[in-house]
């Protein structure tokens, strides 16, 4: 922890009282954590980045650039080009040319080899990517190092192998590529979401125009360098930076065959609407309000660890975050107490410190949004509890927060906050728990905690979610399909199922 953070303001809530002298995990009293900063000296990045189109970095037509901040310091990190309609035209043309001339005529096994190369190059440069991811997006280095970057490499490695095996993926059908895929990704897992989008698209023989989120474009442009290093034919991957308007230029481009979007449900609906009446295919991976259900017979300590991971992983900037906790009445008090105890031990602060559990909120805009929701929660009559940890004075940081005494209709229960904010409700019967869990327009992911196998399968089958984590949470793997029911999206990413959105079946 830095000196600054020691001076952070005190908590406004009731003073923290452990239920019994032994129940508090009082690390503070016994342990002082030294700073454990990840060395960032070897990591290089430019002051300004151009667009990556047709295998080259080129300046945007209108010459406009925008700054990208490090959310932990609020200081400028670098700046990105703003791609406008003409730039998107160029990128789509380059992608189309690459599709027609090189990529679709290349033998499938050779296509696969390029993708394997990309996987290897990411592994070789893993530390550099992790550091940049944490600097640009604010996530703890431990997460970018152990989750984001290795998983991104694994994704390319997995899909590389599919390139020449597509005949086995769709029984009775022949899979053909769609053409040019327009891909728009969010700021919560910048490189990983890029991998989720680019790997299956390339493996199935498509070329891509990808737009990273405006606050987290750095690793995408580093990835562009890596594509060059891999010798990937020009135009197979094009990376264009910009905000909503740039994205809209991609969505509405006539020569794009498929749109893949990950982001909010609100924007997802706008995209779906803009595609109305066209032949463009699309996949949408949207918001969520994941239920996490703890039954009385669950291993409670394990469940509490799971809840912590479910909501505080990546500052809660996770579409599948377990943001609604449902605890069976008999163990509710115990669980809430254990949860508070565990929250006290979380370290909020410098994303580049290896001890940090919760890094910086990704942007000022998101920081303000979370704080608005905290206010809404309190105004709606819920009880707010925040851990008493110190937070740095500069940068966008938010204490881990739980709300109890909330009802189904509370906004903080219904709306996606996308921050380290958990609501806690109780239930008596399994039916009640399931009904409450399903009482939302979302349906992305959820958790079930119980020691009883039959209960896991019954509850799991009743929850209307694309992913069910039983006695675990927030696990991801390239072989495992991911995606939502209801208003959490359409289509799956990952696994064999993740090939389907990028092919036409003849």
Partner 1 sequence: MSDRIEVLKTYKTYVGGNFPRTESGRYYKVYDANENILANACQCSRKDVRDAVVEAREAQPDWNNRSAYNRGQILYRIAEMLETRKAQFIEELETIGYKTKKAKAEVEASIDRLIYYAGWSDKYQQVFGTINPVASSHFNFSMPEPMGVVNIWAPEDRPLLGLVSVMAPVIVGGNTCIILASEKYPLSAISFAEVLNSSDVPDGVVNILTGFRDELLEHMTTHKDVNAFFYTDPDIDQEQRKQIDENATLNLKRVRRKPVEDWLSEKAQSPYYITDFQETKTTWHPVGL
Binding residues for partner 1, rule: CB under 8 A, are 154, 171-173, 265, 268-269, 272-273, 275-277, 284, 286, 441, 456, 460-461, 465-472, 475, 477, 479-483, 485-487, 489-490, 492, 495-497, 505
Q: Which is nearer to partner 1, 190 or 478 (CB)?
A: 478
Among candidate residues 143, 285, 344, 490, the one labeled active-site is: 285
Smallest distance, partner 1 to C-beta of residue 475, A: 5
∠ CA 296-299-304, nearest 5°, is 95
Structure tokens at 65: 């650039």
Q: How far apart are CA 378 and CA 397, in angstroms?
A: 19
Q: Which is nearer to partner 1, 223 or 469 (CB)?
A: 469
Smallest distance, partner 1 to C-beta of residue 179, A: 19
Task: Please give the span between the terminal C-alpha atoms of the chain, in angstroms, as a whole number.
Answer: 58
Q: Which is nearer to partner 1, 148 or 487 (CB)?
A: 487
Which residues neighbour 296 within 8 Å (Cβ) at sequence distance 6 or greater?
A: 328, 330, 331
371 burial via Cβ count (<10 Å: 0-12, 13-18, 19+)? middle
Q: Which is nearer to partner 1, 49 or 157 (CB)?
A: 157
Q: Which is nearer to partner 1, 75 or 269 (CB)?
A: 269
Structure tokens at 29: 């009293």
Smallest distance, partner 1 to C-beta of residue 145, A: 16
Residue 302: CA count within 13 A, CB half-sphere: 14
Identify the helix (H) or strand (E) that includes residue 65.
Answer: strand 65-70
Smallest distance, partner 1 to C-beta of residue 460, A: 5
CB 177 within 8 A of CB 503: yes
Among candidate residues 227, 319, 320, 389, the one labeled active-site is: 319
Q: How far apart are CA 181 and CA 193, in angstroms?
A: 15
Q: How far apart are CA 259 and CA 267, in angstroms?
A: 13
Q: How far apart are CA 496 and CA 93, in angstroms?
A: 29
377 burial via Cβ count (<10 Å: 0-12, 13-18, 19+)? buried
Q: Among this protein's residues, is 285 annotated catalytic? A: yes
Q: Which is nearer to partner 1, 218 or 320 (CB)?
A: 320
CB 398 within 8 A of CB 14: no
Smallest distance, partner 1 to C-beta of residue 245, A: 20
Q: How far apart are CA 445 and CA 436, in angstroms?
A: 14
Q: Among this protein's residues, is 227 annotated catalytic? A: no
Q: How far apart are CA 299 and CA 98, in angstroms?
A: 54
Identify the helix (H) or strand (E) that includes residue 282.
Answer: strand 281-285
Q: Which is nearer to partner 1, 214 or 285 (CB)?
A: 285
Smallest distance, partner 1 to C-beta of residue 253, A: 18
**How many residues in the chain?**
506
Q: How far apart are CA 61 and CA 82, in angstroms?
A: 9
CB 51 within 8 A of CB 58: yes
Smallest distance, partner 1 to C-beta of residue 424, A: 23
Smallest distance, partner 1 to C-beta of residue 463, A: 9
* Radius of gyration in angstroms for the set of CA atoms belonging to the chain, rounded to a whole number: 23
Q: Which is nearer to partner 1, 17 or 273 (CB)?
A: 273
Structure tokens at 16: 């923290």
CB 468 within 8 A of CB 446: yes
- Which active-site residues does the annotation give? 285, 319
């Amino acid at each position: 922890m830095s000196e600054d953070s020691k001076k952070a303001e005190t908590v406004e809530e009731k003073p923290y009282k452990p239920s019994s002298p032994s129940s508090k995990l009082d690390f503070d009293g016994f342990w002082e954590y030294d700073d454990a900063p990840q060395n960032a000296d070897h990591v290089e990045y430019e002051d300004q980045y151009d667009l990556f189109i047709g295998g080259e970095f080129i300046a945007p037509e209108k010459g406009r650039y925008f700054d990208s901040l490090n959310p932990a310091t609020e200081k400028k990190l670098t700046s990105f080009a703003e791609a406008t309609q003409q730039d998107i035209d160029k990128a789509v043309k380059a992608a189309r040319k690459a599709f027609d001339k090189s990529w679709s005529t290349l033998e499938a096994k050779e296509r696969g080899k390029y993708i394997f190369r990309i996987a290897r190059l990411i592994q070789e440069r893993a530390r550099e990517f992790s550091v940049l991811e944490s600097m640009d997006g604010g996530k703890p280095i431990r997460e970018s190092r152990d989750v984001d970057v290795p998983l991104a490499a694994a994704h390319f490695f997995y899909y590389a192998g599919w390139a020449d095996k597509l005949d086995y993926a769709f029984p009775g059908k022949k899979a053909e590529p769609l053409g040019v895929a327009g891909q728009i990704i969010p700021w919560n897992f910048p490189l990983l979401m890029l991998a989720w989008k680019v790997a299956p698209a390339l493996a199935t023989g498509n070329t891509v125009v990808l737009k990273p989120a405006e606050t987290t474009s750095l690793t995408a442009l580093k990835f562009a360098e890596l594509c060059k290093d891999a010798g990937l034919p020009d135009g197979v991957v094009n990376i264009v930076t910009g905000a909503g308007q740039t994205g809209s230029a991609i969505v509405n481009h006539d020569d794009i065959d498929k749109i893949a979007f990950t982001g909010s449900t609100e924007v997802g609906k706008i995209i779906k609407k803009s595609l109305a009446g066209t032949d463009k295919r699309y996949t949408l991976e949207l918001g969520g309000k994941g239920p996490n259900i703890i039954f009385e017979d669950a291993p409670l300590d394990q469940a509490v660890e799971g809840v912590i991971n479910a909501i505080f992983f990546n500052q809660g900037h996770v579409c599948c975050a377990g943001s609604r906790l449902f605890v069976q009445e008999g163990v509710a008090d115990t669980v809430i107490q254990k949860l508070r105890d565990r929250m006290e031990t979380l370290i909020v602060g410098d994303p580049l410190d290896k001890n940090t559990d919760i890094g910086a909120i990704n942007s000022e805009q998101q920081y303000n949004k979370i704080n608005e929701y905290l206010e809404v929660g309190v105004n709606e009559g819920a009880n707010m509890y925040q851990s008493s940890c110190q937070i740095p004075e500069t940068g966008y940081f938010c204490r881990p927060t739980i709300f109890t005494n909330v009802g189904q209709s509370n906004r903080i229960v219904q709306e996606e906050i996308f921050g380290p904010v958990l609501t806690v409700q109780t239930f008596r019967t399994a039916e009640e728990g399931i009904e409450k869990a399903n009482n939302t327009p979302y349906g992305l992911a959820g958790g079930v905690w119980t020691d009883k196998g039959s209960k896991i399968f019954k509850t799991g089958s009743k929850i209307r979610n694309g992913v069910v984590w039983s006695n675990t949470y927030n696990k991801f793997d390239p072989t495992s399909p991911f995606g939502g029911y209801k208003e959490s999206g359409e289509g799956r990413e990952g696994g064999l199922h993740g090939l389907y959105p990028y092919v036409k079946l003849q």
